[in-house]
Amino acid sequence: MNEDPGSTSGPVHRKWWDRLGHLFSGEPRNREELIDELRTAQANGLLSADTLPMLEGALRVTELNVDDVMVPRVQIVMIDVDSPLPDILAAVVESGHSRFPVHGEDKDDILGILLAKDLLKTFGNGHDFELRSILRPAVLIPESMRLNVLLAEFRRSRNHMALVVDEYGGVAGLVTIEDVLEEIVGEIDDEHDDEEEPNLVRAQAEGEWIVDALTPIADFNEEVGTGFSDEEFDTVGGMVTAEFGHLPEVGEQIDIDNFAFHVTQADDRRVQQFRVLRR
């Protein structure tokens, strides 16, 4: 009996094993050539259709930084340490999240992380509620940290969330272990995820749109046919708020170029929605 393992696999598989051996026996190859070899393996039936994208994702996380995938600061649901219990409960219920950064004097003064399950444990204990006493330590990481390094840190520390700080020590964003894993395995939906992406720019009558303040300026330009610069601001809300020079309230209006921006939704922290009219 022929005991050569390659002889039973046919010429295609022998060729693949020869190429694979060459891949790891000589000088290190670059990432593109490695991916080409993996795609050849899939074409030859050695990798499943689901496996190849995950391998490519695993390679991709070594090239991405946390600021490539983080939730930006304006979208983070934070809790003030002095908030009354009913307000904290409302934030937990309305957001559907399980972890919340808790801040002190301002949103750069992070005191810790509140886990929703820890909040539930305080009910019925017969003591006055003290938020500080149940906070978990916050993990702070730089914007430049590689995703593969962060994933290793998540595994080591068993944390699922980290706050991203900029060069000045301010909070720039938030990243979770789910954000990192989605770069490897693709989008992970849970019971709180919307089935469809929200429509951030909704056309109304001719020359009129309802626009979410978090709409990227590039997307707004594409939808409406404008040419606003996104070098200084990423979102329509950031651009318009800067033009106002203050945090505008519902009902305020400002003209930018040939467009009128009417504030239709806002709270005490940010603008949420505009009605935009072409002049």
Distance of alpha carbon 189 from alpha carbon 178, whole angstroms:
10
- Is the domain spanning 201-278 CATH 3.30.465.10? The answer is yes
- Measured CA to CA, the distance from residue 71 to residue 56 in angstroms comes to 23
pLDDT in tens, 219-237: 999 999 999 988 777 889 8
Contacts for 42 with CB less than 8 Å, ≥ 6 apart: 48, 49, 51, 52
The string of DSSP codes covering 169-182 is: S-EEEEEEHHHHHH
Q: So what CATH class is 67-185?
A: alpha beta
Rounded Cα–Cα distance for residues 231 and 190 (Å): 34
Answer for the pair 114, 79: CB distance below 8 angstroms, yes or no: yes
Q: Judge if 67-185 and 201-278 fold alike in CATH terms.
A: no
Tens digit of each residue's pLDDT (9 = 90 or more) over 43-78 = 777 767 667 677 766 777 777 888 888 888 888 889
- pLDDT tier at 82, thresholds 50, 70, 90: very high
For the chain, the domains span: 28-61, 67-185, 201-278
- For helices 51-60 and 31-43, give the axis angle rounded to 10 degrees: 170
Provide the mean pLDDT of the chain.
80
Q: What is the reported pLDDT for 181?
A: 79
Question: How many Cα atoms are found within 13 Å in the side-chain-facing hemisphere of 177?
Answer: 14
Please give the Cα distance from 24 to 12 (Å, whole number). Answer: 19
- Of residues 274, 248, 241, the one with CA closest to residue 260: 274
Listed residue (108, 235, 103, 101) closest to 167, CA to CA: 108
Most confident of 2-6, 111-115, 130-134, 175-179: 111-115
Which stretch, 3-7, 106-110, 229-233, has highest mean pLDDT? 106-110
Using alpha carbons, list the distances in angstroms from residue 142 to 17, 124, 145, 158, 181. 42, 39, 6, 19, 19
Q: What are the tokens at 7?
A: 């002889």
Of the ranges 13-17, 105-109, 126-130, 180-184, which one carries the lowest mean pLDDT score?
Answer: 13-17
pLDDT of residue 192 exceeding 60? no
With a cut of 60, say whether residue 29 has pLDDT above it. no
Q: What is the pLDDT of residues 260-277, one digit of tens each?
A: 999 998 876 678 899 999
pLDDT at 2 over 50: no
Query: Is residue 77 classed exposed, middle or buried when 0-12, 13-18 and 19+ CB atoms within 10 A define those classes?
Result: middle
